[in-house]
Amino acid sequence: MKITAIKIIVASPGRNFVTVKVMTDQGLYGIGDATVNGREKAVVAYLEDHLVPCLIGRDPMRSEDIWQYLYKGAYWRRGPITMAAIAGIDMALWDIKAKAANMPLYQLLGGRSRDKVMVYKHVGGLDIGQVVEGVAALRDQGLDAIRAQVSIPGLPPIYGTGPSTDQSAGGMIQALPNEEVWATHKYLPLVPKLFEKIRDVVGWDVHLLHDVHHRLTPIEAARLGKDLEPFRLFWLEDAIPAELQEGFRIIRQHTTQPLAVGEVFNTVWDCQQLISEQLIDYIRVTSVHAGGVTGLKKIFDFAAIYHVRSACHGPMDVSPVAMGCNIHVDVAIPNFGIQEFSGYTEATHEMFPAAWSYDRGYLQPGEQPGHGVDIDEAVAARYPYEPAYLPVARLEDGTLTSW
């Protein structure tokens, strides 16, 4: 079998997606996701100008060798653009491989290690009462795990804390970066009050999560972790900027609160210290940003040695293709923890017909050969690329901070 052509499809059915379609001389083709939100065209150029010409005529079954070739063959390795481009190719190759074997992808990864994949969804609100109502409503829908965020009183709603963070409705993305305002000293005493109220309403059977969005220093995160311990959160996510891995030592020294991080990581080297020193409990890399199925498995297999569990990043800009690959990996690995799932627009589902399914807080990969997700190019043509950016945040004095 030989690769004969590779097509790059960019469309925006709610969010911009970069989809890779690898075709072969035996009629089989595979689909991959290569999206980097807000930098989509950079990945397109990397693919079209640097990767596609190197792959025509190669054997798509040699997915590991091709992964190594694309990774090691570039002197300038790693980074989100490179690894998303590799991810798009890699997912498509695994799709072809599993189709050729006439079995769902998870079977090629060792078969099922569990019967279903637990997810968490998001609730945001302008005040604590609004968030509590939202959490209770999701609990009534069968969710066993829920992430809760609240706006800071007196400040405009910041990313992830508005009245609705259900991304299936679209929105939240601006044509230019929206500049928001953040105040740590107002946030730190607010969050424990939020989770005290949530526990009073929903009890202790539901898993509760919280995302800090990298906005604290290590000692501030340590204080928050200690203050949240009485409410037994499933995790505290992205407590500090993740580039300085050793910063998590300070948090670990002061709190038993489980910690999660990793959605901005692209290779095992980006999280090697965090995992090997057991400074985190959940690693949140996702297939599209960590080099596809091959890269994701390398990270999760390494994490398993150190009792660190998986928690694939799964917002709306992780396309249904990457979500499908995540679910196949989730169901197969022994150290699965949880899967983020924020939903998709109807147009996105129409563009990406998928075998995977969601029901009352759990996902199933489906039994279709391959990873089970395709692309309807006619639908994609109706949704051209639109410039879009995530927001940025500034302190009240104007200093730029993490979002």
pLDDT in tens, 31-44: 999 999 999 999 99
Rounded CA-CA distance 326/318 in Å is 10
Q: Which residue type occupies 44?
A: V
Alpha helices in 264-343, H assignment, sequence order: 272-276, 292-305, 320-332
Whether 237 and 209 have beta carbons less than 8 Å apart is answered as yes
Is pLDDT at 305 greater than 60 in this prediction?
Answer: yes
CA-closest candidate to residue 33, choices 339, 284, 354, 365: 354
Mean of per-residue pLDDT scores for the chain: 95
pLDDT confidence bin for 160, thresholds 50/70/90: confident
> Is the confidence at residue 168, as pLDDT, over 80?
no
C-alpha torsion 301→216→264→350, nearest 10: 110
Q: What percent of the chain has pLDDT over 70?
A: 97
State the chain's maximal CA–CA distance in angstroms.
62
Query: Which residues does the annotation mark as catalytic?
Result: 159, 213
Distances (CA, A) of 117 to 24, 26, 261, 326, 388: 32, 34, 19, 10, 31
How far apart CA 388 and CA 119 sit, in angstroms, is 27
Compute CA distances 10 → 82, 129, 151, whole Å: 17, 40, 34
Distance CA 25, CA 402 (A): 47
Task: Give the pLDDT confidence of 306-350 residue by residue, as tens digits.
Answer: 999 999 999 999 999 999 999 999 999 999 999 999 999 999 999
Condensed to tens digits (0 to 9), the pLDDT of residues 49-66 reads: 999 999 999 999 999 999
Give strand pairing partners of 389: 174
Band (pLDDT 50/70/90 cuts) for residue 165 is very low
pLDDT value for 293? 98
- 140 burial (CB, 10 Å; 0-12 / 13-18 / 19+) is exposed
Q: What is the mean pLDDT of residues 98-122?
A: 98
For residue 172, pLDDT over 70 is answered with: no
pLDDT higher than threshold 90 for residue 280: yes
**Confidence (pLDDT) at 402:** 74
Reading the block at residue 89, the tokens are 């190719």
Q: How buried is residue 78: exposed, middle or buried, by Cβ count under 10 Å (0-12/13-18/19+)? A: middle
Per-residue confidence (pLDDT) for residue 403, from 0 to 100? 63
Strand runs labelled E in 82-159: 117-125, 145-150
The confidence score (pLDDT) of residue 367 equals 98
Res 171: pLDDT: 47
Residue 169 — pLDDT band, cuts 50, 70, 90? very low
Q: Rounded CA gap, 100 and 94, in Å?
A: 10
Per-residue pLDDT at 161: 78
pLDDT band at 173 (very low <50, low <70, confident <90, very high): low
